[in-house]
Chains A and B, each alone.
Chain A
Amino acid sequence: MPIDTELFFSALRALTPILFAALGGALCERAGVFNISLEGTLLIGCFTAVAGSWFTGSPWLGVLFAMVAGILFSLILAVGTVTLKGNSIVLCVAMNLLALGLTTYLLRTVFGAQGSFTDPNLQGLSRIDIPLVADIPLVGPVVSGHSPLVYLSWVAVVVLAVMLRRHVWGLRLRGVGETPDAAESLGVSVSRYRYAAIMTSGALCGLGGAQLALGNVTLFAENMTAGRGWIAVVAVMLGAAAPVGVFLAGGLFGVAEALGYRLQGLGMPQQAADAAPYLVTLVALFLAARRVRRQAQAATTSTADGGSDPTPEAAAPVGPQRE
């Protein structure tokens, strides 16, 4: 039976919006900010990308506008939590709802549309066939033929992974997140790094929104992110806020979504296809938590037997580190 390259092609495409958002969430997590406004920022990115492309005729200006809008929107979180020390959960929930109301409102006032907007003249992102790679059996059909933003997301994984481990900026960011008081005493500005992390995540969500609205489809629909931002939050947890881990965790969703649509073609109800990605994510979340819990217990047992103290990493629960 030939391997289904179309399935993995679809999975990679579905992964991209979540990957961008999750990378943003991972950066914030590393900086000590619990960012669950990814859903709202993604949606703002979707709308702005479509509006930008529509009014300028260029999808790439749409992408640029989406990044700027993502940054501006994420400033709400930056000002609210870093400067004003407000409650990040309340603020993020409100931002998600604000994005929903605002994009629906603007859909009415800017496009005069209700529910969704698309048009034959709306320009989407073009697709690239990579020379040489496209001709490789199996790999070629999966990897080639995506929009440039898909490739950009892979580059972002590598760049951020290197930055967080090898670059002064990344090391300081992690320091700010893990021990802010120590970082402050060494002269590193906690506020500045957190602002940078939040704004970068805004830009990344803008890119994710642009890919979703102009790359995966060519339209804007109300609430079109449909929980992808929340999946990204889970991917950050599953991936332990590391870019590569986030990529793999997000890939789970991509495969589940692609598989869901495939099964739908075989006669499974559409509702099962719709639910599959969320169920897969939940199962992965519980399994990962179980693994972490077991490690913690093993460490505790080792201690009880007179072994070394359990490492903080092994004992840490899945999710944001808060003391």
Chain B
Amino acid sequence: MSRTTSPVVKGERGGLWTAIAPRLRGLVFSPVTFALAAGLALAVVILLATGANPLTAIGALFVGAFGEDGISDTISQAIPIVGLAIALAIPLRAGLVNLGGEGQLVLGAMAAVVTGLYSPFPGFVTLVLALVAGMVAGGLYACIAALGEIKFGVPLLVTSLLLSYPAMSFASYLVRHPLREEGSALPQTQRVPAEAHLASFDIGPAHISVGAVLVLVVIVLFTVSDARTPGGYEVRMTGLGPRFAAYAGVNRNRLTLRLLFISGSLAGMVGAILMLGFPYRFIDGALITPAYVWTGLMAALLAAAAPVGTAIAAAFFAALSVGGFGMERATEVPRELSAVLQAVIIVFLAARTGMFRRKRQRDTANGDED
């Protein structure tokens, strides 16, 4: 009742501005804004130090990301980065850190390719089976790290990351030996048959894969379940206070296993999407070189694992990455500046968040209500 009347009262008193002002102030002074501003300032300093014109470089970055030629690339990059950001944000919501996205991505991709190449079923069925195979492969692999934490008490953080290396080595072996395309000197598989390819369509200047639709569906499901389901509530409660959640009856072990399976499944699904879209085959190293997983992880951290925030942050970082190429073409500033910028933003965010926390503690100590 009070919640319903509150905005009306505010509206009557001061109009729209009164209602918007607090939210706007929160945005301006939020840790995220500070981190972004600090990152931008540092980028300007770096550009000046290396003799580049900051305005030209940053302008080129924007044109590269959002111009007529760049928008399709940004969307193409956003599919894996947003997908992986969501995959890693889900356990992060409960305070769990899955650093093994690369292994899960690669195994998911390999499972999808093998299914696509050897499935006896007609095209559409093969397509669905390939996606499912990718999800299962990624999910089960992530469960190894989850079981390590549950059964042995070994930190998920470390095991999930270490498991990535054998997965990448295994996939590398498969593509260079048993699955190598006949007659080719490159470490790549045959193309998945055309009937099993993911379709794509055009909206204005943008060329979009159906994979984007799948990722959007995942975002919606995550948003809804996070906010509206008992499971989502349990996850958030565990993230805020593991002991309190356990006291309230949340089974942390089961939650860990479930969340890691979902996380790995989504990473595997991204791998499958990348295989079933251009270039329709597994190329050794092609999934690792762009650093999709790490970019996605940083987006999840930037948004504190909130569903919509994570998607927005990931799209922003995808634009930064694509813009980096545009900047490089226009100004000869290496595109790796994008990666530096992303990491700097997170560093400032982590430090700044701590600062806010300490200030609040001090106010509380003084007896203030916060």
Chain A residues within 8 Å of B, Cβ to Cβ = 36, 76, 79-81, 84-87, 89-91, 93-95, 97-98, 100-102, 104-105, 108-109, 226-227, 230-231, 233-234, 237, 269, 271-272, 274-275, 278-279, 281-282, 285-286, 289-290, 292-293, 317-320
Contact for B99 among A93, A105, A271, A279, CB less than 8 A: A93
Closest approach, in angstroms, between the C-beta of B8 and any C-beta of chain A?
39
| Cβ B354 vs Cβ A85 within 8 A | yes
Give the interface centre of A101, A230, A272, A278 by most chain B CB atoms within 10 Å. Answer: A101
Shortest C-beta distance, B188 to chain A (Å), equals 15
Contacts of B154 in A (CB 8 A): 285-286, 289, 318-319
CA distance A100 to B354 in the complex (A): 24
Instruction: Report whether A85 and B301 are in contact in the complex, using a CB–CB cutoff of 8 Å.
Output: no
Given contacts A94-B346, A269-B173, A286-B148, contact A86 B351 (CB under 8 A): yes
Q: Report the Cα distance A84→B297, complex, angstroms.
A: 22
Is the beta-carbon distance between B153 and A318 smaller than 8 angstroms?
Answer: yes
How far does the alpha carbon of A90 sit from the alpha carbon of B353 in the complex, in Å?
A: 11
A81–B294 Cα distance when bound, in Å, is: 22
If the complex has contacts A101-B336, A105-B337, A271-B173, are A84 and B354 also in contact, measured as CB distance less than 8 A?
yes
Judge if B62 is at the interface, Cβ distance under 8 Å: no
Q: Which residues of B contact A272 (CB under 8 A)?
A: 169, 173
Residues on B with C-beta less than 8 A from A226 are 165
Given A285-B152, A293-B152, A317-B153, 4 extra CB contacts under 8 A: A85-B355, A86-B354, A282-B166, A318-B155
Question: Lowest 10 A-B CB distances belong to which pairs?
Answer: A86-B354, A101-B339, A98-B343, A289-B152, A94-B346, A275-B169, A271-B173, A317-B153, A105-B336, A108-B334
Question: Which residues does chain B contribute within 8 Å of A285, judged by CB atoms?
Answer: 148, 152, 154, 158-159, 162
B117 within 8 A of A: no
Choose among B153, B158, B159, B172 the residue that contacts A271 (Cβ–Cβ < 8 A). B172
Partner of A230, one of B148, B161, B337, B355: B161
Residues of B within 8 A of A278 (CB): 162-163, 165-166
Q: Are A87 and B152 in contact (CB under 8 A)?
A: no
B106 to nearest A CB, angstroms?
Answer: 12
A275 and B166 within 8 A (CB): yes
Q: Tell me if B170 and A271 are in contact (CB < 8 A).
A: yes
22 contacts between A and B (CB under 8 A): A36-B158, A85-B355, A86-B355, A90-B301, A90-B353, A93-B97, A93-B301, A93-B346, A94-B298, A97-B346, A100-B343, A101-B341, A101-B343, A231-B162, A271-B169, A271-B173, A278-B166, A285-B152, A290-B152, A318-B155, A319-B153, A319-B155
A105 touches B158 (CB 8 A): no
The CA-CA distance from A178 to B354 in the complex, in Å, is 22
Interface size on B, residues (CB 8 A): 48
The yes or no answer to B191 lying at the interface (CB within 8 A) is: no
B353 adjacent to A86 (CB under 8 Å):
yes
Q: How far is the CB of A152 from chain B (nearest CB, A)?
A: 27
Given known contacts A97-B298, A98-B344, A286-B154, A91 and B339 CB-to-CB distance under 8 angstroms: no
Pick from A87, A97, A102: contact of B294, CB under 8 Å: A97
Grouping DSSP codes into helix (H, G, I), strand (E, B) and loop, the B interface class, with mixed when no group exceeds half, is helix
Give Cα A174–Cα B105 distance, bound, in whole angstroms.
41
Which A residues are in CB contact (< 8 Å) with B158?
36, 230, 233-234, 237, 285
Does the CB pair A274–B169 fall under 8 Å? yes
Inter-chain CA distance A24–B52, complex, in Å, is 37
CA–CA, A221 and B340, complex, Å: 17
> B342 an interface residue at 8 Å Cβ cutoff?
yes
The answer on a CB contact under 8 Å between B339 and A81 is: no
Q: Which B residues are CB-close (under 8 A) to A97?
A: 294, 297-298, 339, 342-343, 346
Q: Complex Cα distance A87/B297, Å?
A: 15
Complex CA distance for A320 and B357, rounded to whole angstroms: 22
A76 to B38 alpha-carbon distance, docked (Å): 14
Within 8 A of A (CB), among B55-92: none
Contacts of B347 in A (CB 8 A): 76, 80, 91, 94-95, 98
B residues bordering A, Cβ < 8 Å?
50, 97, 99, 148, 152-155, 157-159, 161-163, 165-166, 169-170, 172-173, 176-177, 291, 294, 297-298, 301, 334, 336-344, 346-347, 349-355, 357-358
Main SS of the interface on chain A?
A: helix
Please give me the residue from chain B that is nearest to A80 by CB atom.
B351
Tell me which residues across on chain A come within 8 A of B350, comparing CB atoms.
80, 86-87, 90-91, 94
> Which among B155, B159, B337, B358 has the greatest number of chain A C-beta atoms within 10 A?
B155
Is there an interface contact between B346 and A279, defined as CB atoms closer than 8 Å? Answer: no
Q: Which residues of A contact B166 (CB under 8 A)?
A: 275, 278-279, 282
Bound CA span A109–B47, Å = 11
Q: Give the one of B152, B172, B176 with max A CB within 10 A.
A: B152
In-complex Cβ contact of B157 among A89, A91, A231, A290 (8 A): A89
Given contacts A84-B355, A85-B354, A279-B166, contact A104 B173 (CB under 8 A): no
- Chain A residue at minimal CB-CB distance from B357: A85
Per the bound structure, the CA–CA distance linking A281 and B346 in Å amounts to 29
Task: Give Cα A125–Cα B165 distance, bound, in whole angstroms.
Answer: 29
Cα A80 to Cα B35 with chains together (Å): 13
Q: How far is the CA of A272 from the CA of B343 in the complex (A)?
A: 32
- A231: chain B residues at CB < 8 Å are 162
Residues of A within 8 A of B152 (CB): 285-286, 289-290, 293, 318
List chain B residues, Cβ under 8 A from A93. Answer: 97, 99, 297-298, 301, 346
Q: Cα distance A109–B355 when bound, in Å?
A: 34
Residues of A within 8 A of B297 (CB): 93, 97
B358 partner, pick from A85, A94, A271, beta carbons under 8 A: A85
Return chain B residues, CB-CB under 8 Å to A289.
148, 152-154
- Minimum CB–CB distance from B322 to chain A (whole Å) comes to 16
- Minimal beta-carbon separation of B72 from chain A (angstroms): 25
In the bound assembly, the distance between CA atoms of A279 and B165 in angstroms comes to 9
Give the residue name and chain of the A residue nearest to B172 (CB).
A271
Rounded to whole Å, the gap between the CB of A90 and the closest CB of chain B is 4
B298 contacts which chain A residues (CB < 8 A)? 93-94, 97
A284 → B minimal CB distance (Å): 10
